[in-house]
Amino acid sequence: MTPPDTLESAHKGKRGLRRIFNALLYSMSGLKLAYRHEHAFRQEVLGAVILLPIACLVPVTPVERVLLIGTVLVVLIVELLNSSIEAAVDRAGLETHHLAKRAKDIGSAAVFLALILLGTAWLLIVGPLLLPVVLAGGIR
């Protein structure tokens, strides 16, 4: 019988605090790579730069604030996962294949649903706060 430690991947790294520090470095690298190579991620980061301060300033309950911030982060998370799927599929081969197309389209659909979630949450939470401003003819 094989000892449990040998079942782990040969690529597994350190343990303890060193593993946590390495994970932080890998995560920062992933964010930088996504920003550098993924146009959609850059667009969504720009959206986050605009929406996150608004979420912090708008007069809502703490739960609503968490929902506003959370939906922005969900879009970024889903985009990162979609980008990683696309990179893995492209690594496997750039020729057109129905399974590669399926993987990419499903990833894109996940981003689309995350954006719908964001839009719905923001419309339902922030929309009523903006309605009086819109009906009064705007901010003067």
Annotated catalytic residues are: 79
Q: What is the pLDDT of residues 70-88, one digit of tens each?
A: 999 999 999 999 999 999 9
CB 117 within 8 A of CB 71: yes
pTM of the full structure:
0.84
Residue ranges of domains in the chain: 39-135
Q: And the tokens for 133?
A: 């401003």
Q: What is the pLDDT of residues 92-101, one digit of tens each?
A: 887 888 999 9
CATH (residue range 39-135): 1.10.287.3610
Burial of 5 (0-12, 13-18, 19+ CB in 10 A): exposed
Separation between Cα atoms, residue 101 and residue 28, nearest integer Å:
29
Output the CA–CA distances (angstroms, integers) from residue 65 to 70, 103, 115, in the order listed.
Answer: 8, 33, 17
Separation between Cα atoms, residue 113 and residue 6, nearest integer Å:
40
Q: And the tokens for 95?
A: 């020729």
Q: Residue 48, Cα to own-chain centre: how many angstroms?
A: 10
Q: And the tokens for 74?
A: 């969900």
What rounded mean pLDDT belongs to the chain? 90
